[in-house]
């Protein structure tokens, strides 16, 4: 055991004081005369022994209290090793300057508290020591050691930054600079330690000392726009496009009267006012009408204070003036499909024979439809897979005599359900998924008298175990 201030141990000489008091404290007894004392002898001896024990306990208590007081001033400690660090200290101080550090304690941002703590660390060392000041910016000028004065100036210049790096990346950055020196290496990590960046378990190194210094505010309400997506695969202009918005409550308190809004072309449209339970999310829908084709830029906003950096969600989407579809046929164009697409606004249909395909044109189409193709060749298979990976969409109408093996190879590579055996049983459709995009605006209501399709020839569908498919129609047997 060692003492930080061993000079205070001289105060242990004061232990003589309670001993002297104990030895020279003579109590005066008052003499009382009794006519007969033979009955008091046993009580007198018992009382005397008890008084001696009590006096010794009092003496021990006084000595222990005095020893504890002296040791408190001397500050004993057990060293972790037999060697004592000497030489120049090389200190690396990381100051978290991400957006989360804009949270406040009594109207003072956490970043200011972190900077004050960093300055205190620098001032605690001598002028001969060297310092590195590091932030999420990872600038080249910070990857070197500074004097004490320069380090304090660097700390003053720290500003909030959108850049974010995980803790293991920060420690590796400090390690890179530490590898250039051999003297004492000390790391300080000042942060609010958000869960998204705290992965210290991925970093293991014993060549330098790591000190974690948290700066945290009290629990505050924080709402964020979690995600935004269109209800349909393609937004159309001059039509009502449904935009789904998910708002998340990241705190443990219910959020009431939360205002949601949608901003496009400088005009703000209120979505509504909602209540969001603690640690949960809600979804809402806004109708977006686009009056021109091309790329559109919009902002979804939630009103939230005091953490505001995640309140805006910026989105960009392309609205085509024409949806181009390619029809691949085996025996020539299908007059029924031609008639269908001619009646659908904004669609442009092109036909190509399976033996005369121009693969280089696939990327110019928004939709490719396979109509009664008997065999999917390996070349067509590979081109369709590449088309899908680039964001294209494929619709398949198999034929009665199609080679299901080539189809299922394609479906397996594309992550889709495969075809089973050909079912010639007469089956009636029992329900329609009106929540799916294809049928979402078709039916006002589906009464009991709705006549649904009947099939006498169909392929069974082998469902994916992942459940990533979505049913459009269901037979009475559930298939």
pLDDT in tens, 142-160: 889 999 999 999 999 999 9
Q: Once rounded to an integer, what is the mean pLDDT over residues 209-227?
A: 80
The 8 Å CB, 24+ separation contacts for 14-23 are 14/66, 14/70, 15/63, 15/66, 15/67, 17/66, 18/59, 18/62, 18/63, 18/66, 19/59, 19/63, 22/55, 22/58, 22/59
Which domains does the chain possess?
2-77 (no CATH), 89-214 (3.40.50.410), 235-319 (2.60.40.10), 322-416 (3.40.50.720), 419-479 (no CATH)
How far is C-alpha 280 from the chain's CA centre?
14
Q: Once rounded to an integer, what is the mean pLDDT over residues 76-101?
A: 78
Q: Is the pLDDT of residue 122 over 70?
A: yes
Question: What pLDDT does 454 receive?
Answer: 93
Q: What is the largest CA-CA distance in the chain?
A: 142
Q: Once rounded to an integer, what is the mean pLDDT over residues 257-285?
A: 84
Q: Is the pLDDT of residue 305 over 90?
A: no
Q: Is the pLDDT of residue 306 over 70?
A: no
Q: Is the pLDDT of residue 402 over 70?
A: yes
Rounded CA separation 345/442 (Å): 16
Q: Is the pLDDT of residue 189 over 90?
A: yes
Q: CB-side exposure of 158: number of CA atoms within 13 Å?
A: 33
Question: What pLDDT does 383 receive?
Answer: 93
The three-point CA angle 136-139-141 to 5° equals 135
Question: What pLDDT does 334 receive?
Answer: 82
Question: What pLDDT does 25 receive?
Answer: 64
Confidence band for 93, pLDDT divided at 50, 70 and 90: very high
Question: What pLDDT does 82 receive?
Answer: 54
Report the percent of the chain where pLDDT is more than 70: 91
What DSSP string runs through 442-476? T-S---TTPPPPEESSEEEEE--TT-----SEEET
CB 471 within 8 A of CB 434: no
Confidence band for 132, pLDDT divided at 50, 70 and 90: very high
Place of tokens 């003036």: 321
CA distances from 330 to 182, 197, 351, 357, 416 (A): 76, 55, 11, 11, 23
Any idea what DSSP says for residue 28?
P
Average pLDDT, the chain: 83
CB 79 within 8 A of CB 2: yes
Q: Pick the more confident residue, 30 or 365.
A: 365
**Least confident interval from 311-315, 348-352, 462-466:** 462-466
Confidence band for 338, pLDDT divided at 50, 70 and 90: confident
Q: Is the pLDDT of residue 39 over 70?
A: no
Q: Once rounded to an integer, what is the mean pLDDT over residues 451-465?
A: 87
Place of tokens 């093996």: 405
């Amino acid at each position: 055991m060692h003492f930080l201030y061993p000079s205070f141990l001289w105060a242990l000489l004061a232990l003589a004081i309670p001993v002297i008091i104990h030895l020279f404290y003579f109590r005066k007894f008052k003499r009382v005369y009794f006519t007969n004392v033979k009955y008091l002898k046993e009580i007198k001896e018992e009382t005397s022994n008890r008084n001696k024990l009590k006096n010794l306990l009092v003496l021990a208590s006084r000595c222990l209290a005095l020893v504890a007081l002296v040791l408190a001033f001397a500050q004993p400690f057990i060293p972790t090793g037999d060697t004592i660090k000497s030489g120049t200290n090389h200190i690396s101080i990381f100051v978290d300057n991400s957006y989360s550090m804009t949270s406040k304690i009594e109207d003072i941002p956490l970043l200011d508290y972190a900077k004050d703590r960093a300055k205190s660390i620098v001032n605690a060392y001598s002028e001969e020591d060297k310092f590195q000041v590091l932030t999420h910016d990872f600038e080249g000028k910070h990857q070197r050691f500074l004097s004490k004065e320069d380090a304090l100036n660097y700390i003053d210049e720290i500003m909030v930054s959108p850049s974010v790096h995980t803790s293991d990346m920060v420690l590796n950055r400090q390690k890179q600079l530490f590898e250039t020196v051999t003297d004492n290496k000390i790391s300080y990590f000042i942060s609010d330690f958000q869960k998204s960046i705290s992965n210290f378990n991925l970093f293991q190194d014993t060549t330098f000392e790591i000190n974690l210094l948290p700066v945290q505010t009290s629990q505050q309400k924080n709402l964020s726009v979690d995600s935004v997506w269109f209800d349909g695969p393609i937004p159309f202009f001059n039509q009502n496009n449904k935009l789904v918005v998910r708002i998340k409550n990241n705190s443990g308190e219910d959020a009431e009267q939360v205002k949601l809004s949608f901003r496009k072309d400088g005009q703000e449209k209120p979505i509504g006012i909602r209540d969001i339970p603690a640690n949960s999310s809600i979804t809402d829908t806004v109708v977006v009408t686009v009056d021109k084709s091309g790329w559109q830029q919009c902002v979804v906003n939630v009103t939230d204070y005091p953490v505001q950096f995640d309140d805006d969600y910026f989105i960009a989407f392309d609205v085509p003036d024409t949806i181009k579809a390619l029809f691949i046929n085996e025996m020539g164009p299908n007059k029924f499909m031609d008639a269908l697409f001619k009646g659908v606004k904004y669609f442009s249909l092109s036909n190509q024979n399976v033996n005369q395909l121009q693969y280089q044109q696939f990327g110019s189409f928004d939709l490719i439809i396979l109509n009664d193709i008997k065999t999917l060749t390996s070349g067509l298979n590979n081109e369709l897979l590449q088309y899908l990976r680039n964001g294209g969409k494929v619709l398949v109408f198999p034929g009665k005599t199609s080679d299901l093996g080539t189809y299922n190879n394609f479906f397996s590579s594309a992550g889709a359900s495969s075809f089973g055996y050909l079912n010639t049983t007469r089956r009636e459709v029992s329900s329609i998924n009106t929540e799916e995009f294809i049928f979402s605006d078709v039916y006002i209501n589906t009464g009991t008298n709705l006549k649904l399709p009947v099939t006498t020839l169909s392929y069974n569908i082998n469902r994916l175990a992942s459940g990533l498919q979505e049913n459009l129609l269901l037979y009475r047997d559930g298939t």
